[in-house]
Structure 1
Amino acid sequence: MTETRHVPSAPTRVQSLASGATISAHRHDEHQIVYAASGVLAITTDAGSWVAPATRAIWVPAGTVHAHQAHGPLELHLVGLPASANPLGLREPTVLAVAPLLRELILAYTRDPDTDSPERKRLRAVLLDQLRAAPQQPVHLPAPRDPRLRAVCDILRADPADTSTLAALGRRVGAGERTLGRLFRSDLGMTFPQWRTQLRLAHALVLLAERTPVTTVAHRCGWASASAFIDVFRQAFGHTPGAHRP
């Protein structure tokens, strides 16, 4: 990211974004919870990208340079928190599961952000309690640093349905299978199959937000069958791709 806007306060508000719209790279001096009540939100930093459907929110710590992109029409709910209020103790962007109660708390808190009533303060306290209890969900694609690993990741980002083995990909970028396997673990903190599954799930969320049929999503993302895709999707998100549709 070359140009970065500095927006000192992290706003609390509701914002609509058209499908494909972006918010350019910026940073706040405060923490922010970013939640898409509809559509799929992608947040990108120098460390990688995070993808969140309506069952997930993204915690963005103070000072993090980040950009947003909407997949599908996005109803974006933003909650700003002082840098001193870090209920999760997290220093990196993190995807959090949003249970029905937490969803309603976020919607209610962002609906009327300009009031400072006792009721609103109690609402914020409950919201923070629910955030502390929210499970972390690793829908994250870390950014590779090694140029050989970056080349492999770029090949698969261009075509998530590519079923090439790591050895075959290594021949294309001039690196051995063992070297690449070690780089995936040391550079990205996951194995090659784990990273490829995360990539495919992230791509599937985007396609589903664009109302692509489930069978088509499965094939475009590299699963051998729709049933195999549905099983992996359910394990990752707790519901089927059909139930996920915006």
Structure 2
Amino acid sequence: MTPQGAGWLPGGFRMGSHSHPGGQLVYAASGVFATTTEFGTWVAPADRVTWTPPGFEHSHRFYGRTDTRILAVPFEECGALARQPCVFAVSPLSRAGILALTGEKERSAEAARRVRAVVLDELREVPGEPLHLPEPRDDRLRAVTELLHEDPGREETLAGLGRAAGASERTLSRLFHADLGMSFQRWRTVLRIHHALFRLAEGESVTDTAIACGWSNPSAFIGAFTAVVGQTPGRYQAGLRGRGE
């Protein structure tokens, strides 16, 4: 059975690799968490929800104190959402539904089904968020991405990383598009945004986060962060504090 419930989880808490016979929505009412599968990592900042379809092996890690809501979706209802894991923004209506279904109030199976149908219908109407970081299958590409995972702030060009990994810039550029569906620059930006979200959730300043994640100045970081997350890092961090962080 797919678990369902609510609770505060501490920063650094991990749920090891597992799968469920049904689908699962995990919502961060505050805080940040990452869901990882063989296809990559999806990061959900506050007011986002991750969707994991039935049967997908996945794990979770939580950053900062996270108000976590886990909603089980019966197998027969999973056709309403994507067949691949993804992250959705949460509307006020879907948020209310998730909070209601994971709260303490007891509901009949039919009442829960009706509320769940509203949540799924709301999520079906919104596009997935650009917070997915795909992981490569090619060994040459994996050698490069592992270097960047170890230090997202590395400033080397793709050519320089290629020399360290034993592959040419041209080959790696082609592999990023063919294997990961995005350019090297885009992949590195998403990686850095992931790490920025984690650092901000743990209380690091905007300036220190920008430097640690490889931006030359806070203004460049603020622009990149806002383009992906939809709000400035300062406003995002203030929202975390306002929700109990």
Counterpart residue number, 1:6: none
Range with greater deviation from structure 2 (105-114 or 93-102): 105-114
Counterpart residue number, 2:243: none
Q: TM-score, normalised by structure 2?
A: 0.92
- 8 Å Cα contact 1:31-1:62 kept in structure 2: yes
Question: Is it true that 1:176 corresponds to 2:151 in the alignment?
Answer: no
Counterpart residue number, 1:210: 202
Between Structure 1 and Structure 2, which shows a larger proportion of helix residues?
2
Counterpart residue number, 1:53: 45
CA deviations 1:138-173 (Å, max 9, x no partner) are 211111111111111011111111111111111111
Range with greater deviation from structure 2 (199-208 or 127-136): 127-136
- 8 Å Cα contact 1:139-1:198 kept in structure 2: yes
Question: Is it true that 1:229 corresponds to 2:224 in the alignment?
Answer: no
C-alpha deviation, 1:226, in angstroms: 0.8
Counterpart residue number, 1:190: 182
Q: Post-superposition, which runs of at least 4 consecutive aligned residues in structure 1 deviate over 3 A? A: 117-122
Counterpart residue number, 2:93: 101
Letter in 1 for 2:154: D
Query: What residue ranges of structure 2 are gaps of 5+ in the alignment?
Result: 241-245
Partners of 1:88 and 1:224 in 2: how far apart?
A: 43
- 8 Å Cα contact 2:26-2:69 kept in structure 1: yes
Partners of 2:175 and 2:80 in 1: how far apart?
A: 30
Letter in 1 for 2:173: G
C-alpha deviation, 1:44, in angstroms: 1.1
Question: Is it true that 1:34 corresponds to 2:23 in the alignment?
Answer: no
Range with greater deviation from structure 2 (227-236 or 189-198): 227-236
Query: What residue ranges of structure 1 are gaps of 5+ in the alignment?
Result: 1-8
Please point out which of 108, 111, 117 is paired with 1:116.
Answer: 108
- 8 Å Cα contact 2:80-2:121 kept in structure 1: no
How many equivalent pairs are there?
238
- 8 Å Cα contact 1:87-1:128 kept in structure 2: no
C-alpha deviation, 1:238, in angstroms: 1.4
Aligned residues: percent identity? Answer: 47
Q: TM-score, normalised by structure 1?
A: 0.92
Query: Alignment RMSD, CA only?
Result: 1.5
Counterpart residue number, 1:3: none
